[in-house]
Each structure stands twice: as C-alpha cells, then as structure tokens.
Structure 1
Amino acid sequence: MSPTTAFAKKRAFHNGVGSLMLSIRPLHLMLFLLVMCLWGFNFAVVKIGLRDLTPLMLTALRFGLVAVILLPFVKPPKGRWLDIAIITILLGVLHFSLNFTGLAGLNASTAAIAIQLQVPFASILAAIFLNDKLGWRRGLGMTIAFVGVAVIAGEPRVEGQYFYLSLVILAACIWSVANLVIKIRPPIDGLSLLAWMSAFSAPALFLCSLALETGQMEDLRAIGWEGVTSVIYQAVFVVVIGYGIWYRLLPLYDMNITMPITLLIPPVGVLSGVIVLGESLTLTFITGAAITIVGVAIILVRRPTTAAPEIERV
C-alpha cells in the first residue's frame, strides 16, 4: 500500500468517525452519559454497602437480586453451560470477590482508577492469544496507565493498603481474562449471560462467604437501609438499567465512538468518593489518576474493540 493510499484511508476513517459522532442522537448521548454516571457512582455505593455487609456476602446478594429480576425474561443458553460456568468462576466469583474485598480496604477513588488497568491487561491478552499487534502507541498507553497507578500507590494514604490495592489490580487482570473468553467463544446475549452468571454466582459466593468470612450472618440480620440500598442500586441501577441501556445502544454506534465514552467512569468514580464519602484529593492522586486515564485513552482510541467490555465490569 502506497503512503498516499494509506493516508487517504486513514483520513476517510477519521472522517467517518467524525460523521458518526455527529450522528449520535441527543437522547442516546444522554443515555450513554446516564450509564457512565450509574457505573461510576457505583464505587461509592459499594463502599457504603460494605459498612453493613462483608464483601462476599454483599456480592452474593447483588448477584442474587440480579438473577431474580432477569431470569424470568431470558432463555436458557442451550449448549453454552460450560461457557456460563467459566464466566461464573472468573467474573462472578473471582473478579467481584477480589474487587469488593479490595474496595473494603481502599478509598473508592483509588479503586476507581486502579480497576482501569483492566484495559491494558485486555490489550496484553489480545496480543498473546488473538495475535493482535500492539504497536508502539498502545504499548506506550499501557506503560503510561501502569505508571499512573504506581504514582497513586506512592501516596502516603495508600501506605499499609497495598494488599487491598493488589486485590483490585488482580481483579482487573481476571476481568480481562473473562472478557477474552467471551470474545473467542460464540456470542451469548448480554442480558442472558448476566442473568445466568448471576444465578450461579450468588449461591457460590454465599458458600464462599460462609467458608471464608465471619460475622456475615449477624450483619445480614442487622442490615440497615444503607446496605439494602447498596444492594438494590448495584442490581437494579448498575446491572438491569445500566447494562440494559448499554446493550441496546452498543449495536447502534461504532466502537470508536462508544468506547471512549467509558473514560468518564473513572472521573465519576473519583467524584463519587469525594462527594458522597468525603474522600480527599491530593495533587499526587490527581496526577496519577490523570496519567492512568491518558494511558487508557490511548489504548481505547487505537484499538477500541480490544478492550470493549463484553461482560459486566463494575
């Protein structure tokens, strides 16, 4: 391909993206922004729920309510039970239990930034298993994202919380593995996957809670309105409404448009911690957060389909 032809194709691509961005209906744009706010605000909501419940029990109740709401409206995924089982273990049990346990010991704002490492992790796995060429720009983006989280980890307020931070980072890595599994397998309807994964995750997490946590039954009996509200918000607003809207809108627009919108999640997550929980912002944190978001943005702009969330991510 000649340089002139390559330039022409690149220009046509960017012109197409620009035209598509202008073609987003105002109502759809408002819905996209609503979903980003619902998902970003969830970091503070989970922290509130953890005041009343242990991490595994909170996660079990979240998935249990999702299953109760969604199962009557979806069909059994015939022939896909093995895929559902794999996603249940990776996403429902491992990712969310690690993420919520990490959140129990971290500020919501810190977790909202650290979990964004799922994007560079997804790019690394795509390069290894999908023969997706990284290129120097995405490689730079990944490096920048990790440097940003390292800057945040150097904050004095994170001292003594490295174990919880490592759990959130590990949760981000496991999310990318689960996302890869969904990408390489035949597609499953998004809401059906959420419903059946939740149905199997809830009892599994309940048993894990009984085996690994203490005081969870007492907490459950004494749960207050904050804990109940947290569970309802996560199940109804984050999953049923949030992902219901997301899966409806996603096929209508190109990934080059929809995926950069998800960059709003970490700033909203940070603001939710500051406004709702009274968390403080330091210059070091703001610098690290900005660096991380820039790195993630580079990856999403260069290859939005690589890190596209095929599955639940918040």
Structure 2
Amino acid sequence: MPLRDLALGLGVVAIWALNIIVIKLGVAELPPLLLTTLRFLLVAALLVPFHPVARHQLPFLALLSLTFGTLHFAMLFIGLEQAEAGTGALLVQMGTPFATLLAVLFLKERLGPRRLAGLILSFAGIVVLAGGPTLPAPLPTALLLVSALGWAISQLLIKQGPNVPPMALAGWVALFATPQVALGSWWFEQGQIEALSDAGWAAWGAVFYTAVMSSILAYGVWYGLLRRHPVNRVVPMVLLVPVLAVGLGVVLLGDGLGPHKLIGGGLVVAGIALIVLRLGGRKTPAEASS
C-alpha cells in the first residue's frame, strides 16, 4: 500500500476513534436521542439529494434504518452518555463477533477453529472487563451491546440485500431513521428546547463531526481504499480504533486505565483480529462504528 493511502487509512482510524470522544462531549450538552436526530438530519440533507436510489430499494433501506440507524446509532449515543469512552468503544467492537455468530446461525457459514478462538477471546475479554471498575452500569452496558448487535444484524442485511452505493445507503438510512429517533426523543427525553438554546460549541461540533467527518468523509475515504486495495490490507487497520479510543479517553477525558481494561480490551481486540484477518482477499462487511 502506498504511503499516501496508508496515511489516509490511519486518518480514518483517527477520525473514528475521536468520534467516540466527540459523542461523549455532545451528549453532555444535548440529550442523546436529540443529538442522534440532528446527526441523521444533517447526513440526510447532505447525501440524499445527490444519491438517488431505485424505488424497489426503499423497503430494504427502511428496514436497515431500524437496525443500523435506530438500533445501532441511537443505542450507541445513549450508552456512551453513561459509559467511559474507551470502555464503550471496546463494547461496541463486539459487533464483529456478533456478526460472525449470526452468519453461522442464519447463513450457514463455517466457523472454523481460528474464528472460534476469536469468538472465545472476544467474549473472555468482556468477562474480564466486567470484573473491573470501568464497566458501566448494567443498563448502559446492555445498550452498547445492543448497539453492537444492531451493527451485526445490519451487516448481514447489507450482505444479503440489494447493491446500494455506500453514500446512498448512508443518506437514505439516515432519512428513514430521523423520524424514528425523533419520536424516541419526544417520548423518552425532556428539555429539548432548552438544551438546544443552551447548546455550545461542543454540542454543535458533535453534530457536525459525527455527521460530516465520521459518516461522510471517513466512509468516503474508507470505501475508496477498499476499491484500490485488497480487503485484508485495509480492514485490519480498524483494529486500531478501540485502542486509540481508549488512549484518547485517558488523555482527553481522564478515563481510568486499570489492568481489567488493558487485559480485557486486549483480549477483545485479539479476538476480533482472529476473526477479521484473512489470508485471502475476500471482502468482509463494511466496518462501522461510528
């Protein structure tokens, strides 16, 4: 891989890792579902007018908006409100083991000893994290794992569904997800008008960053790299996202860094590495996070 493309890939990793920190700052000023709604609105406004889709693709995109939009992103924002950034990033990485299990159960894919070992390591890492002080309360932990499950279900849907260009998929999923998340904000949250009037640079910066930098710019660059290089040279860089997110959480937010997070996080990342690293160039589902 040329040095320029390597730098682009590492830049995407940095954007996605910093996205976790930005979400933490944003939900400190805006209710999480309100912030998610604003993010979806901006993504849809910037992408939908320039990326039309066929009418027969709309039901698939509407279904994906439930799993990828509401289940993944909304639960991610809510969970991160009450979790440390690094721990939250590690929990959301469980989307890859979940996707592997779902593919075995529903698509009859072969697991194999290497991927089985990866699953065992990943879940062992969560057990180690659970024994430490940085794991959030049961509810936000469950929400972050549900977010990971939403990502996993979405990858299977994308794999089996119609071929929709990435930017069109992002825009139309955001469009369909906006009223769902807005309804959730109206039903479960309060003080939205006051929060909007009092919102500062951190809140509005979070809306811009999560929509433009993390979703549009980073994914645009990422899919360009996937088109130019074998998948097994590009996808492994995603393993750096939770590592960098943990470091940024410690430096920028003062998160703790004890042995449970180091060992548990290391097991999670090692397990995911066994699952995603391939000797061939067969394409894997798009990594997303963020």
TM-score category of the 2 structures, normalised to the smaller one: over 0.9
2:219 aligns with 243
Q: How does 1:167-178 map to 2 (within 5 A)?
A: 167-178=143-154
Match 1:109 to one of 86, 102, 116: 86
Report if the CA contact (8 A) 2:231-2:282 is conserved.
Answer: no
Whether 2:156 is the aligned partner of 1:207: answer: no
When Rg is computed on C-alpha atoms for both structures, the one with the higher figure is 1
Alignment check: 8 A CA contact 1:300 1:307 kept: no
Which residue matches 2:7?
30
Contact kept? 1:39, 1:238, Cα under 8 Å:
yes
Q: Determine the C-alpha separation between the residues in 1 that align with 2:206 and 2:159.
A: 31
Residues 219-262 of structure 1: CA deviation (Å, up to 9, x unaligned): 11211111011111111110111011112221211121111111
Deviation of 1:156 after TM superposition, in Å, equals 2.4
Gaps of 5+ in 2: none
- 1:1-314 pair list within 5 angstroms: 24-158=1-135, 161-302=137-278, 308-310=284-286, 312-314=288-290
Task: Report how far residue 185 of structure 1 moved.
Answer: 1.4
Helix, strand or coil at the partner of 2:289: coil
**Is contact 1:137–1:302 with CA below 8 Å preserved after alignment?**
no
- The AA in structure 2 aligned to 1:71 is V
DSSP 3-state at the match of 1:80: helix
| 1:174 Cα deviation after fit | 1.5
* Conservation of the 8 A alpha-carbon contact between 1:43 and 1:272: no
Question: 2:159 touches 2:285 (CA, 8 Å); kept in 1?
Answer: no
Amino acid at match of 1:296: I
- Counterpart residue type for residue 111 of structure 1: G
TM-score (norm 2): 0.95
Cα offset, 1:76, TM superposition: 2.7
Structure-1 separation of matches of 2:209 and 2:285: 20
- Indicate the percent of aligned positions where both proteins have the same amino acid: 34
Alignment RMSD (CA, Å): 1.7
Matched residues, number: 290
Which structure 1 residue ranges, 4+ long, deviate > 3 Å from structure 2?
302-312
Letter in 2 for 1:118: G
> Does structure 2 retain, via aligned residues, the 8 Å contact 1:123–1:306?
no
CA contact (8 A) 1:62 1:232 kept: yes
Distance in 1 (CA, whole Å) between partners of 2:146 and 2:280 is: 22
How much has 1:311 moved relative to structure 2? 6.8
Q: CA deviation at 1:157?
A: 3.7
One-letter amino acid of the counterpart of residue 28, structure 1: D
Give 1:302 shift. Answer: 4.3
Tell me the TM-score normalized by structure 1. Answer: 0.88
2:124 maps to a residue whose letter is V
Q: Is the 8 A contact 2:92 2:148 kept in 1?
A: yes
Alignment partner of 1:238: what SS? Answer: helix
Shift of 1:307: 8.9
Alignment partner, residue 14 of structure 1: none
Q: Which amino acid aligns with 1:42?
A: N
**Separation in structure 2 between the aligned mates of residue 311 and residue 75 of structure 1, nearest angstrom:** 23
CA contact (8 A) 2:231 2:283 kept: no
C-alpha separation in 1, matches of 2:22 and 2:89: 12
Please give the alpha-carbon distance, in whole angstroms, between the structure 2 residues aligned to 1:297 and 1:44.
Answer: 23
